[in-house]
């Protein structure tokens, strides 16, 4: 049984949910994701092979000090972006996340552009992750049945995403738990071996920071070479560190949307510190940047594959440690599979969000009885079949090209998030709305948004500078295709549909807030106190957060007793 959602259906559904306390979203999805699901989905989406394998390229280019500084600086920039997205998403925890926010608060054309940008980025990364699984398996043997591995991955992704969202949530919870175990295992490996707990009993400490040195020269010698090495580590960080956008995509299916999403956004700052900054520090400790294998991989001359190219595995081999590299490789498989699973989920929800706003075919709005956007899912699950291109050497190069072309898409998403927040900030000021009374209040605004914009613009403009010295057409399009396509998408939709950029006074700051408020008021019980002491949704319970006259909505339990109430501004409603 499938259903299509109309505006009338939204209102009827909202009233039914308020009366019966169901967990169905007004948009057709089911709000069944628990706090532990969302917390681990955020980890699963943000941690892939880059933190364990590709980070070695950054080390080989810039050295340990450049790597640590670059990862710390980029984490600060992404924390600023997280601060922007958190405030808007917790206020409007809708399906489609930041994609729909951009179209609703700024310009419909901006929502169209960022939505399709995000969709293709997520969808085309799925076959890339499947390819990575085959590379990791080739660590043990070369005669891997590539086609069979691709087929199994596609079947598993389909099974986990076609069932109710709780099936995906449970799978991602356990898969992401494997990532956390792997990370802390590598942290322990770093500490134990650096103080002498290795077969050579060599307490090497920070030796590699002194020799060959903390900063590496890249593409040139002297200070210019060290500066280019630092730039290379910035690019490494930009494509390794992600996270806020994945929480946004789960907002429409969170059981307690404002509470669980708020907690996930608050804990992301600790994830940046624990996983990415400490990860960069550990990599720079266990292996020197001039290690022959690291440099051969950087130059594309190494035969090392998958987990064998991980700087941690290289360090273990250098120390003569056995068995542990196999364990790391096995856990890497769960890490990569988890990333592909989350990409499938997010691509489906992004396409569904586009359809809800009329930016994709209407049929893609249809959901099953269990709340799965069935036709959006069927479109997405076609993309993993591109992984079969790796069966041919020439075709595999096409797949690599496709991934290279859309890589800048993530940076464009972050830029749009900051632009959307500035519009939101100005709209609140223009309409006299006090942000401090909202469920999530982002401090240091709008300065965080401006920091995010400047950071993303600089990276988008300069990360492909190597294409100009010397000039290389292929490298140019690999690095700048999305920067050229994004304005075309934006202007094309604007010209066809005659959309306009909203003025701050025109922005609708009510939107689906009454539906979400009513849904939360109808919830039968308080959520578990998990990962946070205070589980309040953040609203001022004395009166409407803006101080206006308000309408009190009471949720009625089965025994007729009133459990809780909320206020919705009459002026807003």
Task: Specify the pLDDT at position 336.
Answer: 86
User: Tokens for 174?
Assistant: 């356990």
β-pair partners for 239: none
Decide: 570 and 548 in contact? Cβ < 8 Å: yes
Task: Specify the pLDDT at position 244.
Answer: 87
Alpha carbon 278 to its chain's center: 19
Task: Specify the pLDDT at position 25.
Answer: 53
Decide: 77 and 451 in contact? Cβ < 8 Å: yes
Residue 469, Cβ neighbours under 10 Å: how many?
10
Which residue in 344, 330, 332 sits closest to 171, CA to CA?
344
CA dist 129 → 338, 350, 392, 396 (Å): 9, 19, 17, 13
Which residue in 340, 347, 59 sits closest to 208, CA to CA?
59
Mean pLDDT of 169-185: 87
User: Tokens for 371?
Assistant: 């709340």
* 44-54 residues labelled b (16+ CB within 10 A) or e (exposed): bbbbbbbbbbb
Task: Specify the pLDDT at position 528.
Answer: 57
- 282: which residues sit within 8 A by CB, 6+ positions away? 186, 187, 190
Q: Is the pLDDT of residue 5 over 70?
A: no
β-pair partners for 367: 3
In tens, the pLDDT along 269-325 reads: 888 888 899 999 999 999 999 988 888 888 776 655 556 678 898 899 889 888 898
What is the pTM assigned to this prediction? 0.85
Q: Is the pLDDT of residue 450 over 70?
A: yes
Mean pLDDT of 542-552: 40
User: Tokens for 158?
Assistant: 């389909």
Which residue in 444, 424, 335, 248 sits closest to 49, CA to CA?
335
DSSP output for 65-133 = HHHHHHHHHHHHHHHHHHHHHHHHHHHS--TTTHHHHHHHHT-HHHHHHHHHHHHHHHHHHHHHHHHHH
Q: Is the pLDDT of residue 456 over 70?
A: yes
Q: Is the pLDDT higher at 482 or at 532? A: 482
Q: Is the pLDDT of residue 23 over 60?
A: no
Q: Residue 466 — pLDDT band, cuts 50, 70, 90?
A: confident
Which residue in 375, 374, 19 sits closest to 165, CA to CA?
374
DSSP SS3 for 210: helix
Alpha carbon 144 to its chain's center: 30
Mean pLDDT of 528-536: 47
Q: Residue written as tokens 């292929």?
A: 474
* 479-516 residues labelled b (16+ CB within 10 A) or e (exposed): bbbbbebbeebbeebbeeeebeebebeebebebbbbbb
The helix (H) or strand (E) run that includes residue 247 is helix 244-250
Compute the distance between CA of residue 331 and CA of residue 354 in angstroms, rounded to an integer: 35
DSSP secondary structure letter of residue 546: T
Task: Specify the pLDDT at position 422.
Answer: 96
Task: Specify the pLDDT at position 281.
Answer: 94
In tens, the pLDDT along 69-100 reads: 999 999 999 999 999 999 999 999 988 889 99
Q: Is the pLDDT higher at 406 or at 449? A: 449
Decide: 376 and 348 in contact? Cβ < 8 Å: yes
Mean pLDDT of 27-49: 78
Q: Is the pLDDT of residue 548 over 80?
A: no
Compute the distance between CA of residue 419 and CA of residue 107 in angstroms, rounded to an integer: 11
Decide: 551 and 567 in contact? Cβ < 8 Å: yes
Q: Residue 525 — pLDDT band, cuts 50, 70, 90?
A: low
Decide: 25 and 371 in contact? Cβ < 8 Å: yes
Task: Specify the pLDDT at position 532.
Answer: 43
Decide: 286 and 190 in contact? Cβ < 8 Å: yes
- 223: which residues sit within 8 A by CB, 6+ positions away? none
Q: Which long-range contacts (CB under 8 A, 24 or more apart) does 79-82 make?
A: 79/268, 79/269, 79/272, 79/448, 80/418, 80/444, 80/448, 80/449, 80/451, 80/452, 80/455, 81/244, 81/414, 81/417, 81/418, 81/448, 81/452, 81/456, 82/243, 82/244, 82/265, 82/268, 82/269
Q: Residue 544 — pLDDT band, cuts 50, 70, 90?
A: very low
- Percent pLDDT > 90 in the chain is 35
Task: Specify the pLDDT at position 302.
Answer: 60
Decide: 228 and 469 in contact? Cβ < 8 Å: no
- CA torsion 488-452-502-29 (nearest 10°) is 80
Q: What radius of gyration do the chain's Cα atoms show?
A: 24
Residue 453, Cβ neighbours under 10 Å: how many?
23
Q: Residue 8 — pLDDT band, cuts 50, 70, 90?
A: very low
Q: Is the pLDDT of residue 455 over 90?
A: yes
DSSP secondary structure letter of residue 502: P
Q: Residue 396 — pLDDT band, cuts 50, 70, 90?
A: low
Instruction: Give the β-pairing of 2-3 and 367-368.
Output: antiparallel
Task: Specify the pLDDT at position 395.
Answer: 55
In tens, the pLDDT along 123-159 reads: 988 988 888 888 888 888 878 888 899 999 999 999 9
Which of 25-29, 37-41, 372-376, 518-522: highest mean pLDDT? 372-376
Q: Which CATH architecture has domain 2-569?
A: Up-down Bundle (1.20)
Q: Is the pLDDT of residue 550 over 70?
A: no
User: Tokens for 345?
Assistant: 């989920």
Mean pLDDT of 178-194: 91
* 409-420 residues labelled b (16+ CB within 10 A) or e (exposed): bbbbbbbbbbbb
Sketch the domain layout of the chain as residue ranges.
2-569
> In the predicted model, what is the mean pLDDT of the chain?
82
Q: Residue 167 — pLDDT band, cuts 50, 70, 90?
A: confident
Q: Is the pLDDT higher at 56 or at 448? A: 448
The residue length of the chain stands at: 573
Task: Specify the pLDDT at position 301.
Answer: 66
Task: Specify the pLDDT at position 531.
Answer: 47
In tens, the pLDDT along 484-518 reads: 999 999 999 999 999 999 999 999 998 888 888 88
């Amino acid at each position: 049984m499938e259903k299509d959602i109309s505006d009338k259906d939204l209102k009827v559904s909202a009233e039914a949910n308020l009366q019966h306390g169901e967990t169905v979203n007004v948009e057709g999805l089911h709000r069944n994701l628990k706090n532990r699901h969302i917390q681990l989905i955020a980890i699963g989406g943000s941690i892939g092979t880059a933190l364990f394998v590709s980070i070695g390229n950054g080390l080989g280019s810039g050295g340990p000090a450049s790597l640590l500084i670059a990862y710390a600086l980029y984490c600060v920039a992404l924390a600023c972006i997280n601060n922007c997205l958190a405030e808007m998403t917790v206020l409007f925890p809708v399906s489609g996340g930041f994609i729909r926010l951009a179209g609703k608060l700024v310009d419909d054309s901006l929502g169209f552009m960022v939505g399709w940008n995000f969709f293709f980025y997520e969808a085309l990364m799925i076959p890339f992750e499947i390819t990575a699984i085959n590379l990791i398996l080739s660590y043990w043997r070369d005669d891997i049945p590539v086609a069979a591995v691709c087929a199994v991955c596609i079947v598993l992704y389909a099974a986990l995403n076609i069932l109710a969202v709780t099936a995906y949530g449970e799978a991602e919870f356990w898969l992401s738990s494997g990532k956390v175990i792997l990370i802390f295992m590598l942290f322990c490996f770093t500490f134990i071996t650096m103080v002498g707990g290795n077969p050579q009993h060599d307490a090497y400490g920070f030796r590699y920071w002194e020799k060959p040195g903390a900063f590496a020269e890249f593409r040139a010698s002297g200070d210019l070479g060290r500066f280019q090495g630092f730039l290379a580590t910035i690019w490494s960080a930009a494509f390794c560190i992600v996270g806020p956008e994945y929480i946004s995509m789960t907002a429409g299916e969170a059981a307690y949307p404002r509470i669980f999403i708020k907690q996930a956004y608050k804990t992301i700052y600790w994830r940046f510190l624990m996983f990415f900054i400490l990860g960069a520090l550990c990599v720079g400790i266990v292996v020197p940047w001039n290690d022959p294998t690291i440099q051969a991989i950087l130059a594309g001359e190494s035969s090392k594959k998958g987990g064998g190219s991980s700087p941690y595995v290289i360090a273990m081999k250098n120390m003569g440690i056995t068995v542990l590299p196999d364990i790391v490789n096995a856990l890497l498989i769960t890490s990569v599979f988890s990333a592909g699973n989350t990409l499938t989920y997010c691509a489906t929800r992004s396409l569904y969000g586009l359809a809800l706003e009329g930016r994709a075919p209407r049929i893609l709005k249809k959901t099953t009885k269990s709340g799965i956007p069935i036709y959006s899912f069927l479109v997405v699950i076609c993309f993993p079949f591109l992984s079969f291109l790796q069966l041919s050497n020439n075709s595999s190069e096409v797949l690599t090209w496709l991934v290279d072309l859309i890589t800048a898409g993530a940076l464009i998403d972050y830029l749009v998030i900051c632009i959307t927040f500035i519009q939101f900030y100005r709209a609140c000021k223009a309409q006299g709305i006090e942000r401090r009374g909202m469920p999530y209040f982002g401090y240091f605004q709008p300065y965080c948004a401006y920091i995010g914009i400047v950071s993303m613009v600089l990276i988008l403009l300069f990360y492909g500078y190597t294409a100009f010295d010397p000039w290389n057409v292929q490298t140019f399009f690999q690095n700048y295709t999305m920067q050229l396509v994004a304005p075309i998408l934006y202007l094309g939709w604007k010209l066809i549909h005659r959309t306009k950029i909203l003025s701050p006074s025109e922005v609708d700051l009510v939107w689906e807030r009454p539906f979400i408020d009513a849904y939360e008021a109808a919830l039968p019980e308080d959520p578990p106190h998990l990962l946070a002491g205070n589980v309040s949704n953040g609203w001022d319970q004395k009166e409407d957060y803006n101080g206006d006259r308000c309408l009190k909505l009471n949720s009625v339990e089965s025994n007729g007793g009133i459990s809780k109430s909320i206020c919705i501004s009459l002026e807003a409603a």
